[in-house]
Amino acid sequence: MAIDVDNFAGRLDEGDAVAAFVATWRACEAGAARCVVTTSPSVDSAQRRELAEAVALRAEAVVALNRAYIAFRAELAQQTGADAERAINAALLGTATYATSLTDVPLVRTAVLGRPLEHIVGSVASAVSSQQRRAQTRRASQNLGLAIAALREAMALETRKYDALAEALVDQRTEAHRAMLQAGLISGAGTLQPFADRLNVPLTRDADAVVARSVAARTAVEAMVEANERREIRRTQARYRAAIATLIELEQVHAVMDRGERPDLDSLERAVWELERLSDKPTSPRALGTPLTDQPTR
């Protein structure tokens, strides 16, 4: 389910450069008189930049959530709650910032963000009785649940924005590859090599020359490139679906805690581990070598 955030955002953000290359190539192919640098942004450039910004903000929100879960684990272990207060507040703010980049409708209640954190989370360590400690841990869980719900709703919006751009992304990247191949800037054999490897067959030594002189071979390579781009789109869409499923699982864990019941800590640990992979940052409890399941919940 991991989404390589830097690479993914970069691929979205490079769209104007790809469009400029393709447009200039087409103009120059049409004749020397029309061969000028063409840098007009494509019609979807604003949407791509918006999505790239949202992807980067989502990564920051997920990192903040991971840190909040580490601090929440410390609360479950009856350690100081001060770090959890700060971490959960940062998670709420980070998630709200990410969500705001996708919609003007607040997905995290402003009343929650505006209240002093000591009234939201409290310090488990300072609780006089175990009943107070459980109540304060429950409130901490409720606020993590709010952040997770907002992240899930924002990711659903991000998914729809990505789906709306999917066809344009395929067309643009396929056209750029076609232009570079026809210009002799990339190797036809290099493009075919991964395909040949999967078929477990060797390429001929003159594969590049065959692609260069054969319209049929070159067109087949271009068809393969487009198919590969569509496969990458499907993989990204599957990663979005898996990420949202993980967030739903975390919401269910917090719903159990909200009812005052003992949660399935194996599910919590697994979901937090998957949550970390959304940002490719080693901040989760498991990544730090501190499993969630060796501590009591009350």
Least confident among 82-91, 213-222, 286-295: 286-295
Identify the pLDDT of residue 201: 92
At 200, the pLDDT band (50, 70, 90 cuts) reads very high
d(CA 94, CA 61): 4
Summarised one tens digit per residue, pLDDT across range 136-149 is 778 888 888 888 88
Tokens of 4: 């390589």
Query: What are the tokens at 102?
Result: 């996708």
Q: What is the mean pLDDT of the chain?
A: 75
The residues spanned by each domain of the chain are 5-286
Q: Give dist(CA 193, CA 207) in Å, integer.
A: 10
- Quick check: 152 and 278 in contact, CB under 8 A? no
Rounded distance between C-alpha atoms, residue 117 and residue 67, angstroms: 16
Q: Which of 263-272 are b and which e, b meaning 16 or more Cβ less than 10 Å from the residue's Cβ?
A: bebeebbbbb
Residue 230: per-residue pLDDT: 92
Comparing CA positions, the residue from 168, 259, 182, 257 lying closest to residue 219 is 182
- Contact status, residue 283 vs residue 63, Cβ threshold 8 Å: yes
State the Cα–Cα distance between residues 70 and 189, nearest whole angstrom: 48
Counts of helices then strands in the chain (DSSP H, E): 11, 0
Q: How many angstroms separate the CA atoms of 267 and 293, rounded?
A: 10
Q: What is residue 87's predicted lDDT score, i.e. its pLDDT?
A: 77
The 10s digit of each residue's pLDDT in 102-132 is: 776 555 543 344 343 333 334 444 444 566 6
The SS3 call for residue 128 is: coil
Determine the average pLDDT of the residues in 82-105: 74
